[in-house]
Amino acid sequence: MFWITDLYSDVRQIKLRGQRILYTLHSGIGHLGIFVSAKIAQKEHKEIGSFKSIEALPPGLYELVITEKTSDGASPQYSVSFEERTIADLVALYDGGREDEQQFKSVARLSELATDLYDLSLRSFVQAMATPEAAAMLFESHPLRQRRYVLSDKNPGLWGVPALAANVRENRRPAAEDNPFIRLERFNAGLIEQGFNLFRDVRDAWYEVIFHGIYSLPMMRRVTAG
C-alpha cells in the first residue's frame, strides 16, 4: 500500500479530490491466494461486493474490516465495517520501512539493460522469424494444448472411450461412506494437499533467500546507481 503514501501525504488530499480509498488486510494469503483461494472467495470477495455501502461513505481512507460472527461449524457469517484510517496508520504497518525497495530498483535497472541488449542484438532476428506460420505452429504445439489433444477424440487410440464413458454414466452408483477406497482416496488427497503446501512454502522461502542474496550485493547497488 505504499502507492497511497507515495501519492498522498495527508488524508485531506484524498478528501479534497472526492475519492474513497479502501483496503483490507489478510495475514495468511499471498498475492496469488487473493485470486485463487476458496477461503478468500467465500469471505473477502463476497463481502467486498458491498458497493452500495462503499458509495455511501464520505471521501477518505478506510480499512474494510471483516469479522466472523459464527464459528459453530455452520456456514460462517461475517460482519463488515469501514474504519477510517490516516496515512500514519499505513506507514505504521511497515515496521521495516522501505529498504527492500532498493533491491527492486536493481531488478528494474537490470531489466532495462536486458531490454537494451535485446533491441541491439536479437530483436531484428526474432522479428524476421515471427511469421504467421511460425505463430500457428507454436500455437498448436504448446504443451498445455498438446496434452489435451492426446486425451481428446483427435487421438485415434482413444476411439473406444466415448462408448465406455456413456456406459459408466448410465450405470454409475455412489459408493458407501465406509468403502475402503473412498477412505483411501480422501487420505491420499490430504497427503497430496499437504505435499503441495509444503512444496509451495519451501519454494517461496528459497526464492526469497535467492532474491535477497543476489540483489542485496553491493555490486547490484552500483548497477542501480548507474
Q: In 19-44, which positions are buried (b, 16+ CB within 10 angstroms) versus exposed (e)? A: ebbeeeeeeeeeeeeeeebeebeebb
Residue 81 in 3-state DSSP? strand
Looking at the structure, tell me whether residues 104 and 20 fall in a common domain.
no
- Are 30 and 106 in a shared domain? no
**Would 180 be classed as within a structural domain?**
yes
Query: In this structure, how many other beta carbons lie within 10 angstroms of the beta carbon of residue 215?
Result: 20
The predicted model scores a pTM of 0.50
Cell of 127: 522479428
Longest CA–CA span in the chain (Å) reads: 71
- Same-domain status, 31 and 60: yes
pLDDT tens, residue by residue, 2-14: 788 889 989 999 9
Give the residue numbers spanning the domain of 37: 2-92
- The answer as to whether 103 is a domain residue is yes
Task: Give the model confidence (pLDDT) of 84-100 as tens digits.
Answer: 999 998 888 876 566 66
**Together in a domain, 62 and 106:** no
Per residue in 112-169, pLDDT (tens digit) is: 999 999 999 999 999 998 899 999 999 989 999 998 889 888 888 888 888 898 999 9
> Worst-scoring range by mean pLDDT, 21-30, 166-175, 182-191?
21-30
| Cβ-based neighbours of 14, under 8 Å, separated by 6 or more | 8, 20, 21, 59, 60, 61
Secondary element (H or E) of residue 20: strand 20-23
DSSP labels, 175-217: PPTT-HHHHHHHHHHHHHHHHHHHHHHHHHHHHHHHHHHHHTS
Whole-angstrom Cα distance, residue 131 to residue 55?
50
Of 92, 121, 156, which residue constitutes the final position of a domain? Answer: 92
Residue 106: is it exposed, middle or buried by C-beta count within 10 angstroms (0-12/13-18/19+)?
Answer: buried
The answer to whether 63 and 24 are in contact (CB under 8 A) is: yes
For cell 479530490, what's the residue? Answer: 17
- 19 and 69 share a domain? yes
Is there a single domain that holds both residue 218 and residue 106? yes
Per the structure, the count of domains in the chain is 2
Same-domain pairing of 8 and 30: yes
Is 11 in the same domain as 103? no
